[in-house]
Amino acid sequence: MGMTVGVVGLGTMGAGIAQVCLEAGHAVVGVDGAAEARERGLETVRRGLERRVEKGQLDAAARDRALARLATAEDVAGLADCDLVIEAIAEVPAAKHALFAALAAATRPDVILATNTSAISVTGIAEASGRPGRVVGLHFFNPAPVMPLVEVVRTAHVEEAAYATAIAFAEGLGKEAVPCPDTPGFIVNRILVPMLNDAVRALAETGVEPADMDRALKAGAGWPMGPLALIDLIGVDVQVHASEAIAAGLDDDRYAPHKLLLELMAEGRLGRKTGRGFHDYGRP
C-alpha cells in the first residue's frame, strides 16, 4: 500500500525524488517556500513523467494517476499527514538543522524523517531534530529517476524498526538500497569526490584540454561520462561543498577542493545549470 511522502525542496533533486515516489505508487506532498519554485518543481515532475511515457516506460493512464497523487504546500505544516518526509534543500548544515527541528514539530511522532544530504553529518541533523531515533539518511543520486542507488545512512541513534522501514522504502522504489554508516561522504562520495578533485588537479597541472580528458577517461577507463562533464552535471558548487564537508569531517586537507574549482564557482561557472563550467552548454 502506498505511503504519503513529503519532499521538502523542489529543486532538481527534490523534483526527481518526488517523481520516483509517485511512480512507485506513493502520494507526494512537495514543499517549497517560493511559489515559483513550487511551480517549477511541478513542471519538472510533469516533464519527467512525460519522458517516461515517450520512452514506453510508463503508460499515459499511470502518468495521470501519478500526477493526481501530487500536491504541494508552502511550509512544513502541510506535512502533518505524511508517513515519511525527505529533505532535499541546500547543503547548509544550519538550514538543515533548523528544518528538521521544524519537521519534528509539524509531523506525527512515528514519521520517519530522512535527509538527502550527500556529505553533511546525518547524526548532527538527527540530534538537531530532537527526534534522533526517527531520522535516517536517504541519499539519492542525480538524476534520481535514473540512478539506481540510494545510500541508506544509519546513525547510532536510529531505531532499528525505523531503519528497516527506510531500507524497505528505498527498495520499494526499485532502487539499490545500500546500508552505510554515517561517515563523511558515506560510500560513493568518499571515493568519488577526491577522484574528481584529482581530475581537476591533473587538468590544472598538465594543461590538457577538458574535452580530451573526458574522452580519455571514457575510452580508457570505461566511464560513461568524463570527470569534468560529471562535475558540470552535479554542479561545481556542489562538488566544492561536498569536498569541504568531507575534508572537515575527516580533518584531512587532501579532500579539499582544488583552487580551480573555487575560481570557477567565484565566476559563476557552475556547469550545466549556468550554461558554462569546464565545458560550454549555451543557455542553462
Q: Around Cβ 166, how many Cβ atoms within 10 Å?
A: 25
- For the chain, list the domains and their CATH numbers: 4-181 (3.40.50.720), 188-274 (1.10.1040.10)
Chunked mean pLDDT (size 10), the chain, 284 residues: 93 96 98 93 96 95 96 96 96 95 97 94 97 98 94 98 98 98 94 96 97 98 96 93 90 94 98 96 80
Cα–Cα distance for residue pair 96/159, rounded to 1 Å: 21
Among left, alpha and beta (phi > 0; psi -120 to 50; other), residue 84 is: beta
Tell me the CB-side half-sphere exposure of residue 153, using CA atoms within 13 A.
31
Phi, psi at 95, each rounded to 5°: -70, -40
3-class state of residue 80 by DSSP: coil
Rounded-to-integer distance, Cα 252 and Cα 254, Å: 5
User: Rounded to two decimals, what is the model's pTM?
Assistant: 0.90
Q: How far is CA 5 from the centre of its chain?
A: 16
Please, is 134 exposed, middle or buried when counting C-beta atoms within 10 Å of its C-beta (0-12, 13-18, 19+)? buried
Give me the phi and psi of 191, to 5 degrees please: -95, -45
Q: What is the DSSP letter of 271?
A: B
pLDDT confidence of residue 244: 92
The pLDDT assigned to 187 comes to: 96
Kindly state the cell numbers that stand for 233.
Answer: 552535471
Distance CA 266, CA 197 (A): 17
Q: Indicate which residues carry an active-site annotation.
A: 118, 139, 151, 189
Cell 514543499 sits on residue: 31
